[in-house]
Copies of this chain bind each other. A is one copy, B any other.
Amino acid sequence: MSSLDLTLLPDGGMGWLDASGEASDIVLSSRIRLARNLAGMAFPARAREAERLRVLEQVREAVRIVPALSDGVVLRLDEVSPTDRLLLHERHLVSKELAGVDRQHPVRSGAALILSGTASVMVNEEDHLRLQSLRSGFSAQEAFAAMVAVDRGVGSRLPYAFHEEFGYLTACPTNVGTGMRASVLIHLPGLVLTKEIGKVLAGLQQMGLTYRGLYGEGSEVVGNFFQISNQTTLGRTEEELVDHLVRVVRHVIEREEEARRVLLRDAGYIIEDKLWRAYGTLRFARSLTFDEAMNYLSGLRLAVGLKLIGGLSVYTLNKLLIFSQLAHLAHAEGRELTQSEGNLVRARYVRQVLADEVGSHG
């Protein structure tokens, strides 16, 4: 298995982190995902290899006429190395399941990613198709509009499994109906520091939304990064679900901004001190675990948002999150890294980026 050439990916698969879009210092990205299956075929986990490969073939054929996907790159996950699969997962391009990151769920034959600059399809994940649009910033509506076009295009060539009463059929019953998950990746350090986050998260759940960590389902919240998404997919239209998410997230952004104002007003120098210490640690530490790096980078992101620290772009902050992950570090080094080697390389990488971007701060 040869090493993945990331330059072949459209935008290096990093377009969703380019810091464009509304409120991109707080909302890193917005994602719409549609779960679709082909009528008359077993779900991937139950299908035989030959059937999964037939599904992949049909999807490849179908996307040729879909504008947003026709120039896409096709990556067979079962044909790249574990490190490269982890790398794609770290870049938020494929799910844990498709990448076969867990030993319990090894990569599935026929598992593939079709990736263009504006949309992607995971093939033979839990469902036959996971259509996705991932955008930088608070851009759920734009991502949804793109998804609708992709879904129509693919659906015009492939017979989706659809039930008059239930809607789109999916491998997991929680996705039945619209098959849609709309989500934003949002940074809420202000609400965490003012300890209001608990109330905000409880409020989300009452409004039919849920939250997860950086890597979606089952992942811990780290660095004050939350993925907020719709909980239900049934009984409402896709437009309603997206509009609802957007309204609620807009409110969360306002509360985060308010929390930051309160922090500066009531505890200005304590916050300044805390954030500058985070910066000092990132500038000089010789070893950083991933969780530590995320937490200090969260502080740095807040410091940039509060204009305490200048000279750092939101794009650089976004890149730091992605490139300080283990598979990215290993890819840059051109060799496998143990966790503790990764901690040393991570610290060196972060030091380098910060020294290059901001030089010496008083």
Contact = CB atoms under 8 A, between A and B. Distances in A.
- Classify the interface of chain A: helix, strand, loop or mixed: helix
Nearest to A360: B360
Contact of A285 (B276, B347, B360): B276
B284 A270 contact: no
Interface in A316-362: 344, 347, 351-352, 355, 359-362
Contact of A347 (B273, B284, B344, B347): B273
A283 interface: yes
Interface string A276-288: 1101111111110
A79 B361 CA distance: 43
Contact of A277 (B272, B276, B284): B284
A269 interface: yes
Contact of A344 (B269, B277, B352): B269
| Oligomeric state, in copies | 2
A97 to B, nearest CB: 36
Contact of A287 (B270, B351, B359, B361): B270
A344 B276 CA distance: 13
A270 B361 CA distance: 25
A279 to B, nearest CB: 6
A84 to B, nearest CB: 28
B285 A280 contact: yes
Contacts of A276: 284-286
A336 to B, nearest CB: 19
A302 to B, nearest CB: 14
Contacts of A277: 280-281, 284-285
Query: 4 closest pairs, A vs B, by CB?
Result: A280-B280, A360-B360, A280-B284, A273-B286
Given A280-B281, A280-B285, A352-B362, 15 more contacts: A272-B286, A273-B286, A273-B287, A273-B347, A276-B284, A276-B286, A277-B280, A277-B285, A279-B280, A279-B284, A280-B280, A280-B282, A283-B283, A355-B362, A360-B360
